Amino acid sequence: MTYIAKAQRYQEMQYRHCGNSGLKLPALSLGLWHNFGDVDVYENYKAILKLAFDNGITHFDLANNYGPPAGSAEENFGRILHQDFKNYRDELVISTKAGYYMWEGPYGDWGSKKYLVSSLNQSLKRMKLDYVDIFYHHRPDPETPLEETMAALDLVVRQGKALYVGLSNYKTPEFEKAIAILKDLGTPCIIHQPKYSMFERWVEDSLLDALEKYQVGCIPFSPLAQGLLTNKYLKGIPEDSRLAKEHGFLNAEYATPDKIEKVKILNTIAEERGQTLAQMAIAWLLKDDRVTSVLVGASKPAQLADSLTALDNIIFEENELKEIERILR
């Protein structure tokens, strides 16, 4: 059966300008970091993508190494894109990245022009696309001149393989140097993707101020601290959680007793607001106008539906913010 998107999909979603560009992103964007690889269930992640678009989520965020195995998330997304979303391509913002390990040898990692251009070519083939809307450098490379890495981003835009470029995981000093180079090249950076949540707040030290100063958008990833800021851990660590499985990005040292206790107290504030803890954690990020969109993941449609409900209340009373700050500090 041919997929027909919900007619009212744009009516309830909020859209924010991405920095000083003409591009608007939905307040929630869907990340395909987990749950879209070959190890996952095809019909399940296809249902997640359809639910997202039916609710006005137009931005789908990928990277060359998403899966597992690496590359499979792009392949699976490309398959669904051409089966179900082909008629909606111009309504979608599709992003991908390169910067982490992808293949053997000296040209399959980090930030050389050789790697970035080759990786984007591979990504386009996997997704069967002529171009992506945003191409990111995924992390700084200490061994490649920043001028070379930024020249690669400029090149792919001039080649028509990407419309916009962004940076991810860059700290403030290197971010400022990078965007100055891009500006001189004539291809401005429009967005930065940092790790940011109630439990990961390094961006508040200076990066958010820099993003505001240079009019660059911000799209936080891991807004729920890899699931810690959900009701999943209120009664301890469940057997089916990423933590119990010792997932590479979340370990027992991260979910300390102190943090679990904070999660329980934060949950009471969320309940008073009529929200789940996950919804409040997303709303807490969106309360800041400097945040363009929040990147959420989902292992099933119900999780995404829960995240979408966060948009019903992103206003915080002053006393709520003070209490949250007291708990987190």
Predicted pLDDT of residue 100: 98
Give Cβ neighbours of residue 90 (< 8 Å, ≥ 6 apart): none
Say which residues have a Cβ less than 8 Å from residue 253's Cβ, sequence separation at least 6.
none
> Do the domain assignments include residue 303?
yes
| Type of residue numbered 194 | P
Q: What pLDDT score was predicted for residue 139? A: 98
Check pLDDT > 50 for residue 218: yes
> What was the pLDDT predicted at 236?
67
Residue identified by tokens 């707040």 is: 201
User: Any idea what the CATH number is for the domain that residue 196 is in?
Assistant: 3.20.20.100
* Averaged pLDDT for residues 16-28: 97
Is 273 a domain residue?
A: no
The reported pLDDT for the residue numbered 253 is 61
For residue 246, pLDDT over 50 is answered with no
The residues near 114 (Cβ < 8 Å, ≥ 6 apart) are: 107
Domain of 89? Answer: 15-227+288-314
Residue 247 has what pLDDT? 47
Least confident window among 136-145, 182-191, 253-262:
253-262
Contact 137, 97 (CB under 8 A): yes
Q: What is the pLDDT of residues 258-268, one digit of tens each?
A: 999 999 999 99
Per-residue confidence (pLDDT) for residue 261, from 0 to 100: 94
**pLDDT over 70 (residue 241):** no
Sorting pLDDT into bands at 50, 70 and 90, what band is 143? very high
Residue 250 has pLDDT above 60, yes or no: no
Sign of the four-CA dihedral 31, 36, 40, 44: positive
Q: How many residues does the chain have?
A: 329
In a domain, 170, yes or no: yes
Over the stretch 100-127, which tens digit does the pLDDT of each residue have? 999 999 999 999 999 999 999 999 999 9
Tell me if 60 is assigned to some domain: yes
Residue 272 lies in a domain: no
If one compares 29 and 233, the residue with the highest pLDDT of the two is: 29
Classified as helix, coil or strand, 162 is strand
Give Cα separations from 13 to 44, 65, 193, 312, 313 (angstroms): 23, 29, 21, 10, 13
Confidence of residue 1 (pLDDT cuts 50, 70, 90): confident
Does the pLDDT value for residue 148 go beyond 50? yes
- Residue 323 within any structural domain of the chain: no
What DSSP line would sit under 293-315, residue for residue?
-EEE--SSHHHHHHHHGGGG---
pLDDT, residue 232, reads 86
Interatomic CA distance for residues 210 and 264, integer angstroms = 33
In a domain, 242, yes or no: no
**What is the tens place of the pLDDT at every residue in 161-204?**
999 999 999 999 999 999 999 999 999 999 999 999 999 999 99
Residue 310 lies in a domain: yes
Greatest alpha-carbon pair distance for the chain in Å reads 55
Looking at the 3D structure of the chain, how many domains does it have? 1
Across the chain, mean pLDDT equals 95
